[in-house]
Structure 1
Amino acid sequence: MKKFTYPKEVLDKMKDIVDDCMGDAPAYCEATCPMHTDVKGYVNLICEGKHEEAIRRIREKLFLPGSLGRICAHPCEENCKRGELFRQPMSIAALKRFVADKYDNESNWDLSKNPDKSKKVAIIGAGPAGAQAALDLRKKGYNVTIFEKLQVVGGMMRVGIPEYRLPRNIIDFEYSFLTKLGVEIKLGIEIGKDISFEELRNKFDAVIIAVGAHKGVVIPVQGHDLTGVSNAVDFLREVSLTRKFKIGKKIAVIGGGNVAIDVARSARRVGAEEVHLVCLEPKEQMPAHDWEIEEAEEEGVIIHDSFGPEQIIGKDGKVFGFEIKKCVSIIDKEGKFNPKFDMNMMKTLDVDNVIFAVGQEVDNSFIPQGMLETIRGGRFNADPTTLQTKLKNVCIAGDASGRSVIVIEAMAEGRKAAISVDRYLNNVDMMENREYEGAYKTWLETDINLDVEDLPRVKTQQLAPKDRIKSFVEVDLGLTEKQAIEEASRCLKCECKLCMKECLMLNDYCECPKELFANILKSGEVDPIIPYSCNMCNQCTIACPKDFVMADRFFDVRKLMINANGGKSPMKGHGAIEMHQTLGFSKFFNIAKPAKISAKTKATAKNE
């Protein structure tokens, strides 16, 4: 059937639908996820029992589903509408872990990639940021080599997150995807020692610096140089690699974040009988996740909230005690970090060790002085959109950029850096169409249905506290299949597409009106059967939150078609519709020159 070409004035009337229709708007969870995982899609597949299809859907965006299912800070859950309604968001991470543990296997891995290119890319650091950059570039056909200082892959995810939260076999299994894809990983290679940064730049067409924040910070209070004082990074690294650390029976941990909690709980597992956690914030304002705090207390960690360090007391050059003071405020009137203390409220803790968990820095000593601009914490200065440094063939990702603080964000930074390297090597504009990289606010607007049943969040099973502290066995045991399906059924399936639920015609031709009219605008033409399939009932408009009147657009097109076709409908074999138009009273149907209808046809129509 011959397609009809629209004049500009008709196309212009369709543009508002293309600009403002929410039919293609991602759900709140997907937009908030820095890697844009199709959360709604895989959760609903789990609900339907299609678990293998669910893990394939996850792997379209994430190559670390098992790891992230355990340790992701899941910003997606913070914007979950169930959480907004009932303060119990979907357990998204646990559902991801369920299908990863039970159904992720090499047969489901997509190892396809573009043909090999001649250009080579070096990546410094085998953490999540560097690994994601390597994966994306290898998929595009580049020859990629990762240089890792440690003898293991995973970066800070491996040596900064305790094994009781993330078993090491999970990391090794998921990282094997990179080597199967053809990424070369060189372990135990320190840039600046085993190979210089300049040599790396000369041997490779582009370099991505994706080193983690592997330098711990110690507050220079009196006694900070005593034997028995350490920092969280060094402590967690040694414990992760050896499951040991020379420690006394009583220790104090300084800090209120998740890292401090990890240190405190790990200390219990390497022999500390009494662990004190000291933080400036009141307990309800601690940066650590609520469930982390709860689990730490279950394991016997004593929290001294609203206290800060005064001095570390020494004896014979070793830690003998720790004096702390009451914190009455943290932020001053100008909004700056400026703690104030009540010196009349002091405590002295009897401890053998003090571990500071108050921040981390990047070791940038492998870069010749002045070659790259550095900022606070040893991080590198780079364009925030492209992550490109002043050396055009060098990009930054992960903690090195000073932009990422959690694993999923580090991976998004790695993807961003990979896009920039690809564009640089192909002389493509570095800035165009980059507004939706990383987390963003969706343009979806949905009303919360107050009639939705308040279904409680399904909790994962856990080891008993008395058994946890005896080893580094994983604490969280995950969901059973029954629990996973029950939890997945809580999803509200946030989307617009209300018109699609009212109109069979739209479902025949598109996923949403935006797609349909975008294709029309792009080509300037359409098959006449599409506008003639609309019966002008306006149910789509009644349902539409934006009040788009699609019937009017189709009506305009029909009139143009009739005029261009000499007053006749352009549809062949359209007698039945012409009869309906002739006999109908609505102006919307009287848009074709009436066909000559026989008495027999009229009688048949009357009987029907």
Structure 2
Amino acid sequence: MGVTSTFDIEVDSLKEILNKGYDAVFVGTGAPRGKGLNLPGLEDAMANVYLGIDWLASVAFEHTESIGKRVLVLGGGNTAMDCCRTSRRMGGEDVRVVVRSPFEDMKASPWEKEDAMHEGIPIYNNHVPIEFVIEDGVLKGMNFEKVEAEYDENGKRSLIPTGEDLVFMAADDVLMAIGQENAFPWIERDLGIEFDKWDMPVIDEATFQSTNEKVFFGGDAAFGPENIITAVAHGHQAAISIDLFCRGEAVIQRPPPGVNLASQKMGMHEWSYDNAVQTDQRYVVPLAPLDKSLRDRKLEVELGFDQDTGYKEAERCLNCDVQTVFDEVRCIECDACIDICPTDCISFIANGKEDELRTRLVAPASNLAQELYVSKELPTTRVMVKDENVCLHCGLCAERCPTAAWDMQKFLYNVSKAGQSV
């Protein structure tokens, strides 16, 4: 592709990069700096307090080989889960995760929390760290204040102290995994790049262009810590902008993505995808025995499925790319689709406001994050309402329909790419 890559070069000045005459520069340096807590006693405890992300890197590069027997991990995200589970494998016997928020509000993935608890690691929620406890210059543990979460009408959370006595937890080492942030000491402030009050570059959310038209940002470096999927999407969009910019075109005039729907019907009752309804519960991935996995940091914990089980799991695919498409003109309101639907996700009822409509469905739709599929008004003045949240994409409604008012259509989305015409 004509790309030249260079490695092992430290970049300590964006001005130097720009002075080399590049037409555009993309910054994707992530959020490499871990956040800490400046609590009373920290100065005396520094020898035993670590930033979680830095400590994990030190373990990965085998600079760190052990940790104390009593370990406190502060934070409720995936990094905290990595820290606590790694600590168990590095010699920690009494490893605890302490979180300010309720269990349900933790940012860690549900399976990460499950795996940590499976390995005997307790999670203490609603505990706010107050201070490091030092005796004779040695870290003995930390004190925490118990709180309760209260939410206002907008869902904003406040942590209210319960008034109980401080909770002391003993510790030999403390890992702080309360988040990560950006660090741009290498970007001079006289380059025309505006920074906000959080010391983040001001970026156009559509084009990823900074206030210096030659400099583009993406990934965690653009809007703060997210995930790799978001970072890849940023890279796609920034590449489009850079391509347009280098061609002297307006970066805001972007090529649209390709979207297509194609019927999957083959004959009267055949479909070009597997649409059998599976009633099996999801199989649990077998894990390595704890007595082995906790002794070896590099041992793979998830053993995976055997071939037969893996094949059965693959057959449970919900075909999320195959959409149910409803044609009001063809519908004769026979309600056959309601009778055949295995999840009761289809209703034919009088229209109304969404919050009230949700309560009148055959199976009330409680997931407010999922929009309802509502048809235009039918001859009887009813509307078809479908709860996409519980639809299996099985196609039984389309098979049963005598007038082909239902169809199963495959959705194809082609991401816009650099060089594509507008």
Contact 2:97/2:122, CA 8 A, preserved across alignment? yes
Match of 1:235, SS state, is helix
Output aligned runs, 1:35-114, within 5 Å: 113=1
Equivalent residue letter for 2:242 = V
Equivalents in 1 of 2:255, 2:306: separation in Å? Answer: 40
1:234 and 2:59 aligned? no
- Cα deviation, residue 216, structure 1: 1.1
Contact 1:398/1:414, CA 8 A, preserved across alignment? yes
- Counterpart for residue 280 of structure 1: 100
1:255 and 2:255 aligned? no
Match of 1:414, SS state, is helix
- Cα deviation, residue 319, structure 1: 1.7
Aligned-CA RMSD value? 3.2
Equivalent residue letter for 2:307 = E
Closer, same or farther in 2 for the Cα pair 1:360/1:498, shift >3 Å?
Answer: closer
1:374 and 2:195 aligned? yes
- Cα deviation, residue 435, structure 1: 6.5
- Cα deviation, residue 374, structure 1: 2.4
Per-residue CA shift, 1:253-305, capped at 9, x if unaligned?
11111111111111112221211111122324422222211211222212112
Closer, same or farther in 2 for the Cα pair 1:377/1:217, shift >3 Å?
Answer: farther
Equivalents in 2 of 1:331, 1:232: separation in Å? Answer: 29
- Cα deviation, residue 496, structure 1: 4.0
Q: Which has the higher contact order (CA 8 A, sep 6+)?
A: 1
Per-residue CA shift, 1:178-229, capped at 9, x if unaligned?
xxxxxx1412x2211xxx3122123222211101211111122222332212
Contact 1:256/1:278, CA 8 A, preserved across alignment? yes
Per-residue CA shift, 1:314-345, capped at 9, x if unaligned?
12433211111211126556654532112314
- Counterpart for residue 404 of structure 2: 543
Higher strand share: 2
- Counterpart for residue 246 of structure 2: 425
Match of 2:164, SS state, is strand
Q: Name the stretch that deviates more: 327-336 or 260-269.
A: 327-336
1:199 and 2:16 aligned? yes
With structure 2 as the length reference, what TM-score do the two structures score? 0.67
1:469 and 2:290 aligned? no
Closer, same or farther in 2 for the Cα pair 1:414/1:392, shift >3 Å?
Answer: same
With structure 1 as the length reference, what TM-score do the two structures score? 0.48
Closer, same or farther in 2 for the Cα pair 1:544/1:431, shift >3 Å?
Answer: farther
- Counterpart for residue 270 of structure 1: 90
Contact 1:385/1:434, CA 8 A, preserved across alignment? no
Equivalents in 2 of 1:327, 1:336: separation in Å? Answer: 16
- Cα deviation, residue 433, structure 1: 4.1
Output aligned runs, 1:6-17, within 5 Å: none
- Counterpart for residue 398 of structure 1: 219
Match of 2:7, SS state, is strand
Work out which of the residue numbers 354, 362, 369 in structure 1 matches 2:182: 362
1:210 and 2:31 aligned? no
1:220 and 2:1 aligned? no
Equivalents in 1 of 2:244, 2:309: separation in Å? Answer: 45
- Cα deviation, residue 246, structure 1: 5.8
- Cα deviation, residue 245, structure 1: 5.4
Contact 2:181/2:224, CA 8 A, preserved across alignment? no
- Cα deviation, residue 377, structure 1: 5.0
Closer, same or farther in 2 for the Cα pair 1:545/1:339, shift >3 Å?
Answer: same
- Counterpart for residue 372 of structure 2: none
Equivalent residue letter for 1:481 = Q
- Cα deviation, residue 410, structure 1: 1.3
Equivalent residue letter for 1:387 = F
Equivalents in 2 of 1:326, 1:543: separation in Å? Answer: 60
Match of 2:82, SS state, is helix
Equivalent residue letter for 1:486 = K
For structure 2, which runs of at least 5 residues remain unmatched after alignment? 263-274, 327-399, 408-422
Is the radius of gyration larger for structure 1 or structure 2?
1
Closer, same or farther in 2 for the Cα pair 1:336/1:492, shift >3 Å?
Answer: closer
- Cα deviation, residue 452, structure 1: 3.1
Contact 2:30/2:225, CA 8 A, preserved across alignment? no
Closer, same or farther in 2 for the Cα pair 1:199/1:269, shift >3 Å?
Answer: same
How much identity, in percent, do the aligned residues show?
29
Closer, same or farther in 2 for the Cα pair 1:286/1:433, shift >3 Å?
Answer: same
- Counterpart for residue 375 of structure 2: none
- Counterpart for residue 576 of structure 1: none
- Cα deviation, residue 456, structure 1: 2.0
Output aligned runs, 1:524-563, within 5 Å: 542-545=403-406
Equivalent residue letter for 1:238 = S
Per-residue CA shift, 1:384-432, capped at 9, x if unaligned?
0011111112110111011551111112112222222122112233223
1:294 and 2:110 aligned? no
Work out which of the residue numbers 188, 204, 208 in structure 2 matches 1:383: 204
Contact 2:324/2:406, CA 8 A, preserved across alignment? no
1:483 and 2:301 aligned? no
Output aligned runs, 1:107-126, within 5 Å: 113=1, 116=2
Contact 2:182/2:224, CA 8 A, preserved across alignment? no
Equivalents in 2 of 1:375, 1:293: separation in Å? Answer: 34
- Counterpart for residue 147 of structure 2: 327
Equivalents in 2 of 1:210, 1:274: separation in Å? Answer: 38
Closer, same or farther in 2 for the Cα pair 1:433/1:304, shift >3 Å?
Answer: same
